[in-house]
Amino acid sequence: MTVKNPPCRVLLVEDDPGDAHLVRQTLNAAGAGRFDITWVGSLAEARQQLRDNPPDVLLLDLSLPDSSGLATVLAGREAAGALPLIVLTGHDDNGFEHQTLETGAHDYLVKGSFTSDGLIRAIRHAIIRARLEAELRALASTDYLTGLPNRRHFFTQMETELARMQRLDGERAAVLMLDLDHFKRVNDHFGHATGDALLKHFATLMKDELRKIDSLGRVGGEEFAILLPAADPEAARSFAERLRQKVEETPLVLNGQPIPITVSIGVAIMEATDGSADAALIRADKALYRAKEGGRNRVEIDPLA
């Protein structure tokens, strides 16, 4: 049985009905059912469509009733996010084409100069390029072993939360620094493959305890961090203690052999008055140090919390 691919969803933003008809005709020439085309005539309508029914690719005319030139590309890229964006224009200008591509378009097509095959090829290449760009962004922000956000990405999430808190009155968030106890012993005794399995096991235990609004990242070798928005010191302590106990009671089991683990946790509160997210992370790290010095497998709270 042949499985049909779903049609490629195209959002065509073109204020000229004649030009819009030609583009639709060009795409339909590729065969029935290959493209599902939605046509709108303004940037405002495009924004609405992108919110309500995101397409696979955006075909954007530069000259619209509510926008023109590079401003259209900038606005289109902002509204479309990482979606493939192809500019359609009546201006055959190499310099302007270069500016358009630098501004965020994936391709630049001059009206009346492309065939059905050429337009389809441009759409296919734009989709592939956007997918590769997304994969590169994921690689740059993700820890390869656990699949968690890396330190840079986690810190960005903290900065975003701090900015949100500063717009509101009385908002706080908890920051936890976590370190697996005696992790080096596991690596030395069982090998690095077991150490890697232990890190992934620990990441899973933490993820299972998080709310949808919480964030988790791997910020060092065996160090992790958790961001708990809208959490006061008592709620943060309760969460940390519950997680510490769960880790202690849930050893990694490999080939029938349990490998016990424990974790030390430092907790700090991020305030809207903090100059940067790094300040809270430093306080949590100092609390973590006290937990390690105090005998490990324990939770310590920053005294300022």
Active-site positions? 222
Supply the pLDDT for residue 212.
93
- pLDDT score recorded for residue 52: 94
Across the beta sheet with 263-271, the strand order is 215-218, 223-229, 172-180, 263-271, 299-301
Tens of pLDDT, residues 218-243: 999 999 999 999 999 999 999 999 99
pLDDT of residue 260: 94
Which two tokens mark 5?
């691919």
Q: What pLDDT score was predicted for residue 32?
A: 64
pLDDT value of residue 1: 44
What is the pLDDT at residue 101? 92
Those residues of the chain that have pLDDT short of 50 are: 1-3
Phi then psi for residue 177, to 5 deg, are -105, 130
Residue 4 confidence (pLDDT): 64
**Cα-based distances in Å from 150 to 155, 199, 285:** 9, 14, 17
Q: Quick one: which of 252, 188, 178, 256 has its CA closest to 219?
A: 178
Question: Residue 147: CB partners within 8 Å, gap ≥ 6?
Answer: 203
In the chain the domains, ranked by start, together with CATH numbers, are 8-141 (3.40.50.2300), 151-301 (3.30.70.270)
CA distance 155 to 100: 32
Residue 104: the pLDDT is 87
